[in-house]
Structures are given as C-alpha cells and as structure tokens.
Structure 1
Amino acid sequence: MKHFLIYTIKILIVVLLTAIALDGLYTYIFLQSENRGKIETVFNSEQQNYDVIILGSSRANNHFVSQMFEDKGLKTFNYGMSGGHLFEASLMLKLMIERKYTIKNVILEADLNLSNDHESEGISAKFLPYIHNSAVIKNHFETEKNFNELYYIPFYRYVKYDGKIGFRETYKIVTGEKTNALDNLGYYPLIKHKNGNMKNNIHNLNPLKRNKYYEEIKNICKANSINFIAVMTPMCENVVGMNYFDKVKKAYPEIHNYENVVVENKYFSSCGHMTDAGAKMFTTRILKDFFYK
C-alpha cells in the first residue's frame, strides 16, 4: 500500500509539472502572436492613437466600413467580433486603455446583445492565454463561476477551450499562419447569398434594464474623455418583433436607433447582417450624422 501511494504521488507530481510546463509554453507562444486575431493584436501591441474605434458583435464587424472613415481622414479600426457579446466588447476596451491607447471616439453596436450580460465562451476564451499577464483580464473574469479553475489550475484553460486556444491554434501561431480578421481594417464584408436566412423573430427578446457591460463601456469612455456613440444597427424588412428596438430606446434613451436606415432585403446577407452594399449605405449615414454634419 505504501509503495502504491508513493507511486501515485510521483505520477501526480509528474502530471502537475507537465501541466505547468505546457501552460508556460502555450502562454509564451500566445505572447508572440500579433497577426492571428483582434484580441492578441491588441494585447501584444503598444500605444496606439485612433480617431474611431468600433466595438460590438458581428453586427458591428459586418456593418461599419472602416475604410470609409479613413477616407475622411479618421484613423479607424473595427474591433467588432463575430459571436461576441458586450462582455468581450467591454474587456477589449479595457485592454486598449491598459495599453495606453488614445481614442477620440468609440462607436458601440448596442442592440440585440443588451438582452444579456453573459460571456460568449467562444470569444472570451481567446483572452484566457493572458489571464496571468493582465490585471484587467484577471479582474474581468473574477466574477465568472469557473474563474478559480481557469486561473489556478495549470493548463486547464487550454484543455477546456482546446478548440479555440489549444494545440491547433498554437501550431498556427508558430507557423505564422494568418487569418482575415485584421483585413479591411477589421471590417468583414458580406455578399448576398441565395440561401441566406431572411427570417428572424425577436418578439420575445427584451433588453436588460441595466446591462453591466454596456454601463462599463459608457463609464470607461467618460473616465477617459472618449466620445461615446452607441447605435442600433439595421435588420431586414421582415423581422418579427421589431418593437424590441423601441424597448431599447426606452431603457437606454442615449442609444441612437438606426434599425430602419436600411431595410430592403436586397441589402442583407441574412436578416441581421447587411451585405457590403448595405454596410456602405449605413456607414455613409453614420459619417454624416456624427462626423460631418
């Protein structure tokens, strides 16, 4: 029995040391990544100066044409993240402030995601390689129920989110494989698809009376003298439950409602995402209303 216990302890020690070594190796690799995605690009960057930063979900990523801002002399980057929630948008802005970014304007796509204050696991996982290297990331995750496992158990986060930050991703970083996340100044243009989903029902969707992460973004902008522009972006003409946007306006009167600026189905790739042509129409209106009145 004694020999068995000693053998078991030795195995546990080997497993622990291996986990610590792998954790250190993976983290080191992520600390060298600068061209795979938006999160690691910001984390591994130095001070930047921007006239306009765009934050939000895919409805920001696909709707704000960064080059059109640039053409007007406004240094701009679209940090919208497909699948992301306000949890990740707030953390992205916090990272920029931690990295001493100077930002004049933040445009936040704030509409459908006001209905929840949850993290998007697929996107938030991409912040986790840096949880021991950033007080901002650590503090942001501290209220999550699995924080202790993610923070204190070596290599646990890489195993749990292997599909996002596991071996395959580290291999691609090491080999220098790029993605299209940083193309077009962060904007991702869409085309019209014959089989695009042109039906959407948001009748049962309701904005939270106070979305924690929306308030965080608003307060960060105020504390850093950043002009905060929150907008609702368009949806196609046959959405059921469009009174959701009226509910948002009632709960958050400072958010500008642009859901009906572009409505024709021909300008949408799917009911919640405009094509490149629709995005250009929308961006033209945003530039006119907020930057060149």
Structure 2
Amino acid sequence: MKNFLVYMTKILIVIFLVAMILDCIYTAVFLQSKNRGKIETVFNSKAQKLDVLILGTSRAHNHFVAQMFEDRGLKTFNYGISGGHLFETSLLLKLMIERKYTIKNIILEADLSLASDKESEGITAKFLPYIHNSAIIKEHFKSDANFNKFYYIPFYRYIKYDSKIGFREVFYAAVHKKTNVLDNLGYYPLIKHKNGNMKNNIINLNPLPHNKYYQEIKNICKANNINLIAVMTPMCENVVGMNYFEKVKKVYPEIHNYENVVVENKYFSSCGHMNDTGARMFTARILKDFFKK
C-alpha cells in the first residue's frame, strides 16, 4: 500500500510539472501574438492615438465601416467583437487605457447586450492566457465562478477552452498565421444571404436597470475625458418586440436610438445584422449626426 501511494504521488507530481511547463509554453506564445485577433493585438500593443474607437458586439463589428471615418480624416479602428458582451468590451477598454491609448471618441454599440452582465465564454477565453500577466484581467475575472481554477490550476484554462486557446490556436499564433479579423480596420462586411434568418423575437428581452459593465465603460470615459457616443443599431423589419429599444431609452436616456434608421430586409444579412450596403447607410448617418465637418 505504501509503495502504491508513493507511486501515485510521483505520478501526480509529474502531471503537475508537465502542466506547469505546458502552461508556460502556451502563455509565452500568446504573449507575442499580434495578428490573430483583437484581444491579443490590444494586449500586446503599445500606446496608440485614435480619433474614433468603435466598441461592441457583432452589431458593432458588422455595422460600422471604419474606412468611412478614415475618409473624413478620423483615425479609426473597429474593435467590435462578434459573440462578445459588455463584460468583454469593458475589459478590452481597460487594457487600452492601461497601454496609454489616447482616444477622443468612443462609439459604443449598446442595445441587446444591455440585457445581460454575463460573460461570453467563447470570447472571455481569449483573455485567459494573460490572467497571470495582468492585474486588470485578474481583477475583472474575480467574480467568475471558475476564477480559482483558471488562476491556480496550471493549464486548466487551456484544457477547458481547447477549441479557443488550445494547441491549434497556439500553433497558428507561433507561426504568425494571420486571420481576417483585423482587415478593413476591424470592420467585417456581410453580404445578403438567401437563407439568412430574417425573423427575430426579442419580446421577452429587457435591459438591466443597472448594467455593471456599461457603467464601467461610462466611468472610464469620464475619467479619461473620452467622448462616449452610445448607440442602438438597426434591426430588420420583421422583429417582434421592437419596444425593447424604447425600454432601453427609458432606463438609459443617454443612448441614441438608431434602430429604425435602416429597416428594409434588403439591407440585412440576417435580422440582427446589416449587410455591407446597410452598414454604409448607417455609418453615413452616424458621421452626419456626430462628426460634421
């Protein structure tokens, strides 16, 4: 029995050491990755100056044509993240401030995401390689139920989110294989799909009376003299429950409602995402209203 316990102890020690080594290797690779996605690009970046920073979910990523701002002489980048929530948006902005970004204006897509203050697992995974290298990321994740596992168990986060930050992603990051996420100044144009979902029901969706991460973004902007332009972006004409946007306006009157600026289905790729034509119409309206020459 004694020999068995000694043997098992040795096995556990070896497993722990291997996990620590792999953890260090994976993390080292992510610490030099700059061309795979927006999160690692920001984390590994230096100070930048931006006239317009675009933040939000896919409804920012696909709706704001950054080049149209650039054509007006406004240094712009679209850091909208498909699949993200305000949890990730707030953290990304914190990292930019930590890296001494100088930002004049932030356009924040804040509509459907106001209904939740939960994280998006698939997106939060992209921050986890840096949890031991950033006090900001560590603090932001402290309320997560899995924080202790992420922070104290070596390699656990890489195993749990293997599809996002596992071997395949580490390999591509190591060989500097680029993605298209950073193309078009961060904007991703959509096309009209024949089989696009042109129906949506948001009748049961309600904005939180106090969204923690939206408030964090507001506070960061105030503390850093950044002009925050929070907007609600369009949805197609078939949506059920469009009074959601009226609910948002009542709770957050400072958010500008643009949900009805583009409504015809022909300008949408799916009910919640405009195609490139619709996005350009919408961006032109934002430029007209907030960035007059």
TM range (shorter): over 0.9
Question: TM-score, with normalisation over the residues of structure 1?
Answer: 0.99
Aligned to 1:218: 218
How much does 1:32 deviate? Answer: 1.0
How much does 1:177 deviate? Answer: 1.3
Aligned to 1:91: 91
SS of residue in 1 equivalent to 2:269: strand
Separation in structure 1 between the aligned mates of residue 281 and residue 41 of structure 2, nearest angstrom: 29
Question: TM-score, with normalisation over the residues of structure 2?
Answer: 0.99
SS of residue in 1 equivalent to 2:52: strand
Instruction: Specify the code of the residue in structure 2 equivalent to 1:60.
Output: A
1:3-152 alignment, distance < 5 Å: 3-152=3-152
Deviations 1:234-259 (A, max 9, x none): 00011100000000000000000000
Separation in structure 2 between the aligned mates of residue 34 and residue 116 of structure 1, nearest angstrom: 30
How much does 1:261 deviate? Answer: 0.3
Aligned to 2:181: 181
Instruction: Specify the code of the residue in structure 1 equivalent to 2:79.
Output: Y
Instruction: Specify the code of the residue in structure 2 equivalent to 1:228.
Output: L
Deviations 1:179-228 (A, max 9, x none): 00000000000000111000000001000000000000010000010000
Separation in structure 1 between the aligned mates of residue 175 and residue 93 of structure 2, nearest angstrom: 29
Aligned to 1:201: 201
Separation in structure 1 between the aligned mates of residue 75 and residue 176 of structure 2, nearest angstrom: 27
Separation in structure 2 between the aligned mates of residue 195 and residue 274 of structure 1, nearest angstrom: 14
How much does 1:5 deviate? Answer: 0.9
Separation in structure 2 between the aligned mates of residue 106 and residue 19 of structure 1, nearest angstrom: 41
1:256-271 alignment, distance < 5 Å: 256-271=256-271
> Cα RMSD between the aligned structures?
0.6
Separation in structure 2 between the aligned mates of residue 161 and residue 9 of structure 1, nearest angstrom: 27
Separation in structure 2 between the aligned mates of residue 29 and residue 226 of structure 1, nearest angstrom: 33
Aligned to 1:153: 153
Instruction: Specify the code of the residue in structure 1 equivalent to 2:143.
Output: T
How much does 1:111 deviate? Answer: 0.2
Aligned to 2:250: 250
Instruction: Specify the code of the residue in structure 2 equivalent to 1:23.
Output: D
Separation in structure 2 between the aligned mates of residue 174 and residue 90 of structure 1, nearest angstrom: 28
Question: Any stretches of 5+ residues in structure 1 without a counterpart?
Answer: none
Tell me the matched-pair count. Answer: 293
What percent of counterpart residues are identical? 78
Separation in structure 2 between the aligned mates of residue 4 and residue 236 of structure 1, nearest angstrom: 66
Question: Any stretches of 5+ residues in structure 2 without a counterpart?
Answer: none
